[in-house]
Structure 1
Amino acid sequence: MKRIVSVSLGSSRRDHSFETEFMGVKFHIERIGTDGDWNRAIDLIRELDGKVDAFGMGGIDLYVYIAGKRYVIKDARRLMNEARKTPMLDGSGLKNTLERKCIMDIQRDGIMDLKGKRVLMVCAVDRFGMAEAFEEIGARLTLGDFIYTVGVPIPMHSLRTLRILGSVAAPFIVNMPFDKLYPTGKEQDVIIPKHSKYYYLADVLAGDFLYIRRYLPEKLNGQVIITNTTTREDMQMLKKRGISKVITTTPDMGGRSFGTNVIEAIMVTLMGRPIDKITPADYFSMLQELNLKPGVVNLEEFSA
C-alpha cells in the first residue's frame, strides 16, 4: 500500500486519514496538522523522509503563478528542503489543470451556469488557472488579492489588472513572513468578517477555503462556494451562515475533500517519475484517466 502524508502548518483539528484506491493501487492518505509550529513540521518531515511514498505540503504553497511566471514563497523552501528522499508536492503543479478542468466541468455538466455570475476570488494568484477558467466562461470577476492578502482596499475585476499589479507586487509579497499572508495554526479557527460587501455582492465565492472562511460574514444569502479541503464541520458552519451549495474541486475522501497537494502527491506516486520530468500535459492526461469529478453538496439537504 502506498502512503501519502500531507504535513500541514494548519490546525491539527482538521486532521484526517483515509484509505482508497486509484488505478488499482491502494493508498493510505493522511493529513497531519502542526498548528503553525514550523519546527514540528520540519521534525515530522525529517522523521518520515524516505519512509513514505510522497509528502503533501499543506497550509502553504511553494509557488504562486502570475501570467505564466513562477514566484517562490521564501518560507516554503524551509519545508521543501527537508524532504531529501521523498518527493514533496504543494499542489501548484496541478492547480492550473485540475481547477481549470473543475470549472469547465461545472459549466459543461450543468452543475451550475457560471456565465454572467458574480464571482469573488478572495485570492486569485494561488488559483490562477481557476480564475482564467471563470474569465473564459464569462463570469464577472472580483479579485480580492490586495484586499484580503495584504490589506490594500483595491478590488480588481480582470486578470489583465492582476497580471500587471501582481507582477509588480509578487517579488515583495513572496518574501514576507508567511503567517502575515495566510492563517496558520490556531488562526485557522478564527473568522474575522472583513470587507463583507464583496461577499454579499457575489453569487459565487471561489478559491482557497481557509481564505474564504477567514473573512466569512455571519449571514449570507444563498451563495455557492467552489473550493476544496472542506470537512463535515465546515459544511455545518457554512449552512448556518447561509451558503446554499459547496462544490469541491477534489472528490470526497471519507467525509472531507483533500487539497491539491494530496492529489498531486497521489498522481506523482502513480507516475513513478521525477517531479522535474512531469509536464502539465502529463497531469492533464492522468486527470482524464482518473476521471476526477467535482464534489457537490447541497447544504439545504445536508445533515451532520
Structure 2
Amino acid sequence: MTKQILSLHLGPVGDTTQEVKLLGQTLSVRRIGADGNQERVADLIREFDGKVDAIALEGMSAKLSLGSASVTHAVGDQLRKSATQTPVLDGNGIRGALERWAVRLVSEAQPGLFSQKNVLMVPGLNHRGLAAALEEKAVEVNYADSIIYFRLPTPLGSYVGLDRGAGPVLAQLKDEPFRRLFPLAGTPGVARTAAPFEHADVLAGDMGAIRRYAPAELKRKIIVVESASDEDIADLRGRGAEMVITTMPWENDDLARLPSPVIEAIFVALRPDPAAPLNEDTYLNLMADLVWTPKILRLKEESAQVNRFAFVIHPLSTRYIYKDKRLRYLRFLPEKLVEHYVAEISPMYLSRITGAVSPATGQRVEGILLTLGATPRELMRRDPSFTYRRLIKAARMSERMGARIMGLGAFTSVVGDAGITVAQKVDIAITSGNSLTVAATLETGKQAVIKMGATDLSQGKAMIVGATGSIGAVCARLLAQAIYNVVLVAPRPERLIALKRQIEAETPQAVVTIATRADEYLGDVDLIVTTTTALKTRIIDITRCKPGAVICDVARPPDISEEEAALRPDVLVIESGEILIPGDVDFGFDIGLPPKTAYACLAETTLLAMEGIFEDYTLGREIEMDRVKEIYRLFKKHGFQLAGMRSFDQYVTDEEIARKRAIADELRRDPARLQRLVADARHSREAVSVADAVKPKGFPASLSPQTVGAAAGALVALVGGLFFSRRKTGR
C-alpha cells in the first residue's frame, strides 16, 4: 500500500498531490497551503490525524536553534501536539545531518568548491548543520539573522560573535510569527543592507529569505538551500547567480523539490520499526541507504561549460621580475637586494588564461596565473617551509577564484617534497605537471635525435643527468625501454644503485651504467636529458660531447647557457618540449614563450582541467609511468601538440639542424679537427669563466652602505605596501 504524506505550508491556498520515489518506494505527497492562517493548519492536522502516515509542517518549527543556543517556539510546539495518532514533523530531526552530508558529497564531487569562500547564512536560524559543515571548508562564515530580523547593518560573526549574539537573537524571535521567521519570496517592506551579501561568495539557508532580502544583483553567487522550484531557479538565474545546490535528496539526483519537513515525514513513513523514536538516530540508517548526490545546478550556460585551473610560476631571474609593471622601477636598485626582498612578497595575481578548448569534446577551460616573488636561487637557499607557505596561500587564492586544480611551475614543483605537503594542506587538487613534462621531453628528444641522423634508436645510447630526481627517474625508465643502453648520472650513489636495479628488473635487456659525474661518458652518448639544476656548478661539459649529440635541457634555469652551446656548433641543445594548447589561447601575460605555447607543466594542468580530472595527479619524487602514459593519451585525445623545437627562446629550423648535422659528419670523419675544436672550445670557455670571476659580486662598488640601506628601506616599504594592499582588497 502506498504511504501517504500530508505537507502543510503557509503559502497561498492550494492543494496538489504528487508521487515521490525515495529509498526504492513510491509515496504520495499531498501539499496544502494555508495562506498564512495558523489556525487553518491546526484544523487540517486534526482532520487528517490517523488518516495519513506522516504530516509535515513546512516553515513551522517547534524548536528554533542558532549556533549552540536553542529555544522552543510555543505555536510550533502546540501545532505538533495537535495530532494524537499521526507523527507531525518539522524537519529538525533530519535537516542537520543531511546538510552536513550534502556539503561533504558536494566537496567530494567538486573539491575546493567551498574552500576559501566567504559564506553568509541567510539565515543561520535552524541551519546549524549546514553552517557547521561550511565552517570547516570556508574561510569565513557570517550570519544574516541580525540583518533579516532586526535590520542591523552587520551580520553576526563579524563584530559580534555568534555565541554571544545567538541567545539574545533567539530570545527576541521565540514568539515571532512564522511569516517573520521563515519569510516567503517577495519584496521586503524595508530593504536590507546590501554590503554583507555582496561580500559573500556563498549564500546559504532558506530560499525564501535569500530571494526576499538579498540584493537584486547576485552575480557569481553560489546559493545553497534545501530545495528549489522552477520559479526559484528562474528568479536566481535572472539575478545573475552562478550556481544552486540543493541539500535534500531527490530521485535521479535531480534538483530537490521538497524541503526537509517532507523528507523527514517520508523517513518516518518508511522506518522499518513504527515504534522507533522520532529522532536523528532513527533516521541515520535510512540516510545511509540513500544512493544520492546533491544536485549542483549551474545557472549560466557559459559557466557550466568552463572548467577552471590555476598555475603558479616564479621569476627565473631578476630580469623576469622587471616584466611586471608593478615592479618595473626596481631595475634601478641593486639586483641582489631586489632578488632578496621581492622573494618575501605574497603570491600575486598576474592574469587570466582564456580561449583553451578541446576540439574533441568542446570542453572549455580557463586559468588563473599566479606568481611567487622568489627566483630559483632564493627558493633553493631557503627552508622548504618558506615555499610551502606561499604555495598554500596561492592555493587558497585559486580556490576563492573558482579554480579546481592548481599546477606548480618551475622550481615550485621540486622544492621540498615536490607538492605533497601543499596538497595535504589544501582542498584544491595539486599537480607538478611533471608527467607531461616527461612525455613531451622524450618525444621532443626522439624527434631531435632522428633529425640529427639517427636511424635506429635502439642502437643508440642515452644519458640522464639528475636521474634519481622525479623527472629524471621516470625518463630513465622509459628511455631504457626504447634505447636499451642508458647512463644514469646523479650525486647519490645509493639512489643510483636502487634505480639501476629497478630498470634492470623492468627491462632485462637494458644495459645500465651509473655514475656520479657525467664527464667520462659524454663522448659516447647520442642523447642527453638533463633534469637538474645546480646553481653554482657546471652540470654538463659540452666540450666533451659526441659529435652530433642532442642535449634536451629540461632544467629551469637551463643547465646549458647560450654561450656554452655556441662552443660546439655540431651539438643540438634544445629545451624540453613546449606544448601548443588547442583554441585561441591568450595567457594575458608574457610567460616567455610564443603565442598559444605553454610549458609542459602548465599544459598538463590545462589538460587535466579539460578532461575534468580534479584530483592530485603528479606529486612527489616518484612519477608513475602509468600517469605519464595516461597524460600522453589525453594529450592526443584533446588535440594538444608539440611546439617546434626551441633553443634559447628561438625556434630551431630544419636548415639549422642540417648545418649542425653536416658539421657533425665532418668531425666524425676528421678526428684531428674534432680535437682542435674541443681545445679551442675549452680555451674560450675558460676565458669566459675568468671574465665572470672578476665581475663584482653583490652590490656594485659604486653603492655606499647608506645607499644600500636606503634602497633596502624602500624595497621593504614596497613589499609591505603590496602585502597590505592585497590584504585590504581580499582579492
Task: Tell whether the structures are fold-level matches, with TM greater than 0.5.
Answer: yes
Tell me, in whole angstroms, the C-alpha distance in 2 between the residues paired with 1:8 and 1:80.
14
What is the aligned counterpart of 1:236 among 228, 234, 237? 234
Task: Indicate the SS of the match to 2:94.
Answer: helix
CA displacement at 1:34 relative to structure 2? 1.1
State the shift of 1:261 in Å: 0.4
Identity of aligned pairs, percent? 32
Partner of 2:187: 191
Contact 1:46/1:83, CA 8 A, preserved across alignment:
yes
Determine helix, strand or coil for the equivalent of 2:263: helix
Gaps of 5+ in 1: none
Matched letter for residue 282 of structure 2: D
State the match for 1:142 in structure 2: 142
- Farther off after superposition, 32-41 or 190-199: 190-199
User: Map of 1:211-290 to 2, 5 A cutoff?
Assistant: 211-252=209-250, 257-273=257-273, 277-290=277-290
In the TM superposition, residue 9 of structure 1 has moved relative to its aligned partner by 1.4
Output one character per residue of 1:13-62: Cα deviation in whole Å (capped at 9) or x when no partner.
7x653213333332011222211012222222122111110011112221
3-state secondary structure, aligned to 1:198: helix
1:80-126 superposed Cα distances (whole Å, 9 cap, x missing partner): 12222110110011111001111111112216621110111121131
Q: Which amino acid aligns with 2:197?
A: Y
Residue number in structure 2 paired with 1:99: 99
**Structure-1-length-normalised TM-score:** 0.88
**How many Å separate the matches in 2 of 1:255 and 1:140?**
27
The question of whether the paired residues in 2 share the 8 Å contact of 1:18 and 1:30 is answered with yes
Partner of 1:296: 296
Residues 144 and 275 from structure 1, CA distance in 2 versus in 1: closer, same or farther, beyond 3 angstroms? farther
Which moves more between the two structures, 62-71 or 35-44?
A: 62-71
- Deviations for 1:149-208, whole angstroms, at most 9, x for unmatched residues? 2333341237x922222124323421233334332xxxx242235212222211111011
5+ residue gaps, structure 2, are 303-731
AA at the equivalent of 1:162: L
Distance 1:156 1:255, change over 3 A: closer
CA separation of 1:6/1:291 partners in 2, compared to 1, >3 Å: closer, same or farther?
Answer: same
Q: Which has the larger radius of gyration?
A: 2
Instruction: Give the AA of the match of 1:178.
Output: F
Residue of structure 2 equivalent to 1:42 = 42
Q: What's the counterpart of residue 65 of structure 2? A: 65
Amino acid at match of 2:243: K
- Kept in 2: contact 1:57–1:89 (CA 8 A): yes
Amino acid at match of 1:43: D
Task: Pick 1 or 2: higher relative contact order, CA cutoff 8 A, min separation 6.
Answer: 1
Distance in 2 (CA, whole Å) between partners of 1:205 and 1:275 is 39
Please give the alpha-carbon distance, in whole angstroms, between the structure 1 residues aligned to 2:275 and 2:89.
9
Over aligned residue pairs, what C-alpha RMSD do you find?
Answer: 2.6
Q: Deviations 1:241-277 (Å, cap 9, x if unpaired)? A: 1111111012446976111001111111111546872
Please tell me whether the aligned partners of residues 106 and 112 of structure 1 are also in contact (alpha carbons under 8 angstroms).
Answer: no
Distance 1:225 1:150 in 2: 23
Letter of the 2:71 partner, please give it.
Y
Q: Distance in 2 between matches of 1:16 and 1:244?
A: 31
The alpha-carbon distance between structure 1 residues 256 and 174, as it changes in their structure 2 partners (threshold 3 A), is same
Which shifted more, 208-217 or 48-57? 208-217
Aligned-partner Cα distance in 2 for 1:81–1:137: 38
Q: Is the 8 A contact 2:119 2:141 kept in 1?
A: yes
State the partner residue of 2:4. Answer: 3
- TM-score, normalised relative to structure 2: 0.38
Distance 1:219 1:197 in 2: 12
1:118 matched to which residue of 2?
118
- Point out the more displaced range, 200-209 or 163-172: 163-172
CA distance change for structure 1 residues 273 and 72 in 2, over 3 Å: closer, same or farther? farther
